[in-house]
Amino acid sequence: MTAPFDDRDGKIWMDGELVEWRDAKVHVLTHALHYASAVFEGERCYDGKVFKTREHAQRLIDSGRALDMELPWTVDEIVRAKDDTLRANGFENAYVRCIAWRGSGPDMGVAAKNNPVRMAVCTWEWGSYYGDAKWQGAKLDIAKWKRPSPETVPSHAKAAGLYMICTMSKHAAEAKGCSDAMMYDYRGYVAEATGANIFFVKDGEVHTPLADCFLNGLTRQTVIGLLKDKGVTVHERHIRPEEIDGFQECWLTGSAAEITPVAQIGDWHFQVGHMAREVSDAYEKLVRS
């Protein structure tokens, strides 16, 4: 059984210092706990190098600004904090989680301008996000919750509060024996999985939902670049549910998910085909280059 995340050996970077893992605590009146005023990044370190570390650090800062929360750290300082945390824990291949949040302070209502912005960096060894599905193909449920309109939430921020419907959707999927759930957007178009972007293949061309109301993942952007470099046509567009039946392959992308083929979404089935495997191999080679 995996040890609970609050009871492990190791070091966590908090507000500029490396502290013992079990001592990395916050107060119960932390603003983020009550109002979800937090942003985060999920990253992977391969052979001692965090993939796209500066891009992730910049997105953390940008997400904070989207929530009217200015982070008091620069890209260089965040990158250094990640490197220090990995080194302190002796990891060469690991998952990295950076999180910034409004802490406890004089404000304890909706407004929190007077509360400090805090940050932590944690890292742990983590294998395949979807387990054996990475090779066999994941099975996805279809979520009842939809990704919201960008007029209602800062949908392009990697903000903690945006993931609550993802948690509920994944719980429902797991109860049905699925690895994850595919979500539609507020208009009814295909959007993404609960924590990963989605791609489809038809007749040698790739189709992926236009990221106009959900996070345009860094892994998503990387995969699109890899495909185009190989001369594959990539269509970023709105995809209607009735089109899914015509796709031959499907895969998910994300820092945690990496490249995971999909074998089934609801009643739709896909082959774990050569394009998904080629993209996965190219991605693996890139992140370890």
- Whether 4 is in a domain gets the answer no
Q: What is the CATH number of the domain that holds 52?
A: 3.30.470.10
Q: Is the domain of 244 the same as that of 210? A: yes
Helix axes 53-66, 218-229, angle to 10 degrees: 130
- Whether 100 is in a domain gets the answer yes
116-143 in b/e form (b: 16+ CB < 10 A) is: ebbbbbbbbeeeebbeebbeebbbbbbb
- Whether 206 is in a domain gets the answer yes
How many domains, in total, are found in the chain?
Answer: 2
Q: Is the domain of 100 the same as that of 141? A: no
Q: Is the domain of 120 the same as that of 200? A: no
Give residue 132's pLDDT.
Answer: 76
Q: Which two tokens stand for residue 233?
A: 């046509």
Residue owning tokens 């996000």: 129
Give residue 1's pLDDT.
Answer: 55
Cα–Cα distance measured from residue 193 to residue 183, given in angstroms and rounded to the nearest whole number: 6
Domain boundary among 124, 146, 165: 124
Cα–Cα distance measured from residue 61 to residue 79, given in angstroms and rounded to the nearest whole number: 12
Q: Which H/E stretch holds residue 279?
A: helix 274-287
Residue owning tokens 């983590």: 126
Q: Which residue, among 191, 281, 257, 279, has the nearest Cα to 42 in the 3D structure? A: 257
CB 223 within 8 A of CB 254: no
Q: Which two tokens stand for residue 173?
A: 């999927």
Q: Is the domain of 118 the same as that of 140? A: no
Residues with catalytic function: 158
CA atoms within 13 A on the CB side of 238: 8
Q: Is the domain of 30 the same as that of 143? A: no
Q: Is the domain of 72 the same as that of 168? A: no
Give residue 2's pLDDT.
Answer: 77
Give residue 62's pLDDT.
Answer: 98
**Which domain range does residue 21 map to?**
11-124
Q: Is the domain of 159 the same as that of 245? A: yes
Q: Which residue, among 258, 263, 249, 146, has the nearest Cα to 202 in the 3D structure? A: 249
Cα–Cα distance measured from residue 262 to residue 251, given in angstroms and rounded to the nearest whole number: 5
Q: Is the domain of 137 the same as that of 267? A: yes
Q: What is the CATH number of the domain that holds 263?
A: 3.20.10.10
- Whether 2 is in a domain gets the answer no
Q: Which two tokens stand for residue 108?
A: 């304890």
Q: Is the domain of 206 the same as that of 264? A: yes
Instruction: Give ∠ CA 151-152-158 in degrees, rounded to 5.
Output: 100
Three-state DSSP at 57 gives helix
The number of beta carbons lying within 10 Å of the beta carbon of residue 263 is 18
pTM, two decimal places: 0.95
- Whether 73 is in a domain gets the answer yes
Q: Is the domain of 158 the same as that of 104? A: no
Domain boundary among 70, 89, 124: 124
Most distant pair of Cα atoms in the chain: their distance: 59
Give residue 135's pLDDT.
Answer: 76
> φ, ψ for residue 99 (rounded to 5)?
-140, 135
Beta bridge partners of 192: 183
- Whether 6 is in a domain gets the answer no
Q: Is the domain of 241 the same as that of 102? A: no
Q: Is the domain of 139 the same as that of 276? A: yes
Q: Which two tokens stand for residue 271?
A: 């082959």
Give residue 136's pLDDT.
Answer: 85
- Whether 36 is in a domain gets the answer yes
CB 195 within 8 A of CB 217: no
Q: Which DSSP state fits 84?
A: H
Domain boundary among 124, 142, 160: 124
Tallying the residues shown for the chain, one arrives at 289
What is the residue-level pLDDT of the chain in tens, covering all 289 positions? Answer: 578 999 999 999 999 999 999 999 999 999 999 999 999 999 999 999 999 999 999 999 999 999 999 999 999 999 999 999 999 999 999 999 999 999 999 999 999 999 999 999 999 999 888 877 777 899 999 999 999 999 999 999 999 999 999 999 999 999 999 999 999 999 999 999 999 999 999 999 999 999 999 999 999 999 999 999 999 999 999 999 999 999 999 999 999 999 999 999 999 999 999 999 999 999 999 999 9
- Whether 247 is in a domain gets the answer yes
